[in-house]
Chains A and B, each alone.
Chain A
Amino acid sequence: MSKATSILYLDGVSVSFDGFKAINNLSLTLDPGEMRAIIGPNGAGKTTMMDIITGKTRPDEGEVYFNGTIDLTRHDEAEIAMFGIGRKFQKPTVFESQTVEDNLLLSLKGERRGFPALFYRKSKEDAAAIDEILGTIRLEARRKDLAANLSHGQKQWLEIGMLLAQDPKVLLVDEPVAGMTDAETEETARLLKEIAKTHSVIVVEHDMHFVRELGVKVTCLHEGSVLAEGTLDHVSADKRVIEVYLGR
């Protein structure tokens, strides 16, 4: 695992807010094509880590590299999104006043400037891409409905669909199954495994049942740094992990 061959490389990253160290000497490497689950108690720095990768928060120190060559600390949100890092938020954030279809259209990879969008006309390729994603996230029947009228689980899927539409190289997915029913959780696991076949993915999740379902390497964060890393069985056998997280 070296910087050159990684898709995402964090080394010695620290950031503090008003003296509170949200991230403390955090190092993490994601290989191309890998799916990684991140677990950890509240306040472990999971969301802050995503903020740093996507350019929302600048680290005080440390290296953050994408594809081994791009220094992410030197770019802003829009640029990082264009490099190919997509993000799904903890709380589903879809464009509520627009249709499911339009949400995907807005996310579709490509032109991001305003003027060309004035004269944009949906191409056959774009329409096909939208149809395909609607199939993957199983929302074909709701395509003309406003996103506001979707159920909580459907909004989560729509947001995952928006990520797919961006066609990023890395997907950061924050708590995708929070508030979902068991059936929805299973469906989401299926969806993420499908996506992981062609993308690198980081999933932050509290639901251990769901993490087990994913069956991937797990990193446990605590107080802003890595506590344990390995298979779920290995991590959940770790005494310190049990103490700070699982034991509660």
Chain B
Amino acid sequence: MILARFFAGGFRSPLVVAGMVIILALAVLVPVLNLAVPRGSAFHMPDYLVPLIGKYLCYALLALALDLVWGFCGILSLGHAAFFALGGYAMGMYLMRQIGSRGVYGNPDLPDFMVFLNWKELPWYWYGFDSFAFAMLMVVLVPGILALVFGWFAFRSRVTGVYLSIITQAMTFALMLAFFRNEMGFGGNNGLTDFKDIVGFDIAAQSTRVGLFIISAAALIIGLVITSAVINSKYGKILAAVRDAESRTRFLGYRPENIKLIAFVLSAVIAGIAGALYVPQVGIINPGEFEPANSIEVVVWTAVGGRATLVGPIAGAFLVNAGKSWFTGVLPEYWLFALGGLFIFVTLFMPKGIMGLLGLVRRRKSTPVDEMSPDARADIAPNAAEQQQ
């Protein structure tokens, strides 16, 4: 009952519902166009596009997670890719255990890279990853606990703003260096790859890929419902209050550190799930995923789509990544310049991103300024000015 009311809050915004419908349409259309339409037809979707769009869905879920903390709580995390990568590694470890004796060295007990490093037995932290359920638990727990510990210390010490951004960046950088080390037991430089199957299905089969695609789309829709329900609840209002006037909330009796921690942990868990869905679709996870630049890209997607809009970051993730796929094909060495330029352009000229432009168009259409009362005009003018800055 309480839960039903909570989730109902997720459907309160028409824009969010529209976003869900579009993702749902994608979840139906892509499999149909790929599997049901005959190969020769102009409407047939090529096989390679399914995991590619599936990958975008995972990125979109990651951007949504970042928007929850950045857009709605003002925490500019420059280390969110770390939570994504940890979720990915947890999934990767399960997939490694599924290989069994089909590895190059044919060792039934140890993954190839451990045989190569002359390890005699499985490290303790690999125990349990034979079980899918255990691995899924870790997908949620590892990023969640890291966020809990990290956030607890950072928020309690009242680290905010750019300092917080810097330590999140340091966190992902430290993790990257750690995962690069062979002694860590996560495959070092090469990471985890050569996956064979997932819960009994061949990971390379087109039907499995379509299945993963549908699950990713479903995860994105569920993520949208949950984050939207969270920000529409009273907690969401407290979160925005903390973002806008943190010290004021203290004098009302709130503990901003605890309020932020809830959102931060939830966001890390969502990011972890996105990473876990990403790995089987791209077939590899390596320490490169922890790279600071990856986390910054997530910030760019979110900014391009529009902060604090939930659907904006999803749109941003799709557009920027589609742009990246195209751009890196045409002018690969200039992609980073284009990305940096895009970020500067958006920050300067579109502070509310694509959603801000949509909002502007919609407002102009629905209420012509002439017909408004002077009061209403005065109310809108500052917003319009802000958007043109």
- What residues of chain A have their CB less than 8 Å away from a CB belonging to chain B? 54, 56, 76-78, 81-82, 86-87, 89, 93-98, 102, 105-107, 112-115, 117-121, 149, 162, 166
Interface centre among A81, A94, A95, A115, by most chain B C-beta atoms within 10 angstroms, is: A95
Q: Is the CB–CB distance between B253 and A98 below 8 Å?
A: no
Q: Is the CB–CB distance between A87 and B235 below 8 Å?
A: no
Partner of B254, one of A97, A112, A120, A121: A112
Q: Is the CB–CB distance between B237 and A102 below 8 Å?
A: yes
Cα(A94)–Cα(B259), bound, Å = 18
* Given A105-B237, A112-B254; A118-B230 close (CB under 8 Å): yes
Q: Which of B16-24, B171-179, B201-209, B242-250 contacts A (4 or more CB under 8 A)?
A: B242-250
The chain A residue sitting closest to B241, CB to CB, is: A95
Going nearest first, the 10 A-B pairs with the smallest beta carbon separation are: A81-B253, A117-B235, A77-B250, A120-B234, A117-B234, A118-B235, A114-B262, A82-B253, A95-B241, A93-B248
B368-389 contact mask (Cβ, 8 Å, vs A): 1 or 0: 0000000000010000000000
The chain A residue sitting closest to B249, CB to CB, is: A106
* Given A81-B251, A112-B254; A149-B379 close (CB under 8 Å): yes
The chain B residue sitting closest to A149, CB to CB, is: B379
Partner of B252, one of A76, A98, A166: A166
Q: Is the CB–CB distance between A106 and B238 below 8 Å?
A: yes
Q: Is the CB–CB distance between A78 and B253 below 8 Å?
A: yes
Distance in angstroms from B201 CB to nearest chain A CB is: 36
Q: Is the CB–CB distance between A93 and B258 below 8 Å?
A: no
Please name 12 further chain A to chain B contacts, defined as beta carbons within 8 Å, in addition to the given A113-B258, A120-B234, sorted by A numbering.
Answer: A95-B245, A95-B248, A96-B244, A105-B234, A106-B249, A112-B253, A112-B255, A114-B235, A114-B261, A117-B233, A117-B234, A166-B252
Interface centre among B249, B259, B262, by most chain A C-beta atoms within 10 angstroms, is: B249
B126: interface (CB < 8 Å): no
Q: Is the CB–CB distance between A98 and B240 below 8 Å?
A: yes
Partner of B238, one of A54, A76, A77, A114: A114
- What residues of chain B have their CB less than 8 Å away from a CB belonging to chain A? 2-3, 5-6, 230, 233-235, 237-238, 240-241, 244-245, 247-255, 258-259, 261-262, 379
Cα(A230)–Cα(B261), bound, Å = 48
Cα(A136)–Cα(B237), bound, Å = 24
Partner of A95, one of B5, B235, B244: B244
Residues of A within 8 A of B252 (CB): 81, 106-107, 112, 162, 166
Residues of B within 8 A of A56 (CB): 247
22 contacts between A and B (CB under 8 A): A54-B251, A77-B251, A78-B253, A78-B255, A81-B253, A97-B244, A98-B244, A105-B237, A106-B237, A106-B238, A106-B249, A106-B252, A112-B252, A114-B235, A114-B238, A115-B235, A117-B235, A118-B234, A119-B5, A119-B233, A149-B379, A162-B252
Interface centre among A56, A78, A86, A149, by most chain B C-beta atoms within 10 angstroms, is: A78
The chain B residue sitting closest to A79, CB to CB, is: B253
Cα(A30)–Cα(B69), bound, Å = 42
Q: Is the CB–CB distance between B233 and A78 below 8 Å?
A: no
Residues of B within 8 A of A119 (CB): 2-3, 5-6, 233
Cα(A106)–Cα(B251), bound, Å = 12
The chain B residue sitting closest to A119, CB to CB, is: B2
Residues of B within 8 A of A113 (CB): 258
Interface centre among B238, B245, B253, by most chain A C-beta atoms within 10 angstroms, is: B253
Q: Is the CB–CB distance between A98 and B237 below 8 Å?
A: yes
Residues of B within 8 A of A81 (CB): 250-253
Cα(A119)–Cα(B250), bound, Å = 21
Residues of A within 8 A of B233 (CB): 117-120
Cα(A114)–Cα(B3), bound, Å = 16
Q: Is the CB–CB distance between B250 and A106 below 8 Å?
A: no
The chain A residue sitting closest to B262, CB to CB, is: A114
Q: Is the CB–CB distance between A114 and B259 below 8 Å?
A: yes
Q: Is the CB–CB distance between A115 and B262 below 8 Å?
A: yes
The chain B residue sitting closest to A77, CB to CB, is: B250
Distance in angstroms from A146 CB to nearest chain B CB is: 8
Distance in angstroms from B24 CB to nearest chain A CB is: 25
* Given A54-B251, A78-B255, A95-B244; A121-B5 close (CB under 8 Å): yes
Q: Is the CB–CB distance between A166 and B240 below 8 Å?
A: no
Cα(A109)–Cα(B356), bound, Å = 36
Residues of B within 8 A of A76 (CB): 250
Cα(A113)–Cα(B238), bound, Å = 10
Distance in angstroms from A201 CB to nearest chain B CB is: 16
Q: Is the CB–CB distance between B240 and A114 below 8 Å?
A: no
Cα(A162)–Cα(B245), bound, Å = 14
Cα(A61)–Cα(B261), bound, Å = 34
Cα(A113)–Cα(B256), bound, Å = 10
The chain B residue sitting closest to A165, CB to CB, is: B252
The chain A residue sitting closest to B261, CB to CB, is: A114
Cα(A97)–Cα(B231), bound, Å = 13
Distance in angstroms from B356 CB to nearest chain A CB is: 14
Cα(A227)–Cα(B58), bound, Å = 66
Residues of B within 8 A of A96 (CB): 244
Distance in angstroms from A189 CB to nearest chain B CB is: 23
Residues of A within 8 A of B230 (CB): 118
Q: Is the CB–CB distance between B238 and A117 below 8 Å?
A: yes
Cα(A142)–Cα(B331), bound, Å = 54
Distance in angstroms from B97 CB to nearest chain A CB is: 35
Q: Is the CB–CB distance between A118 and B6 below 8 Å?
A: yes
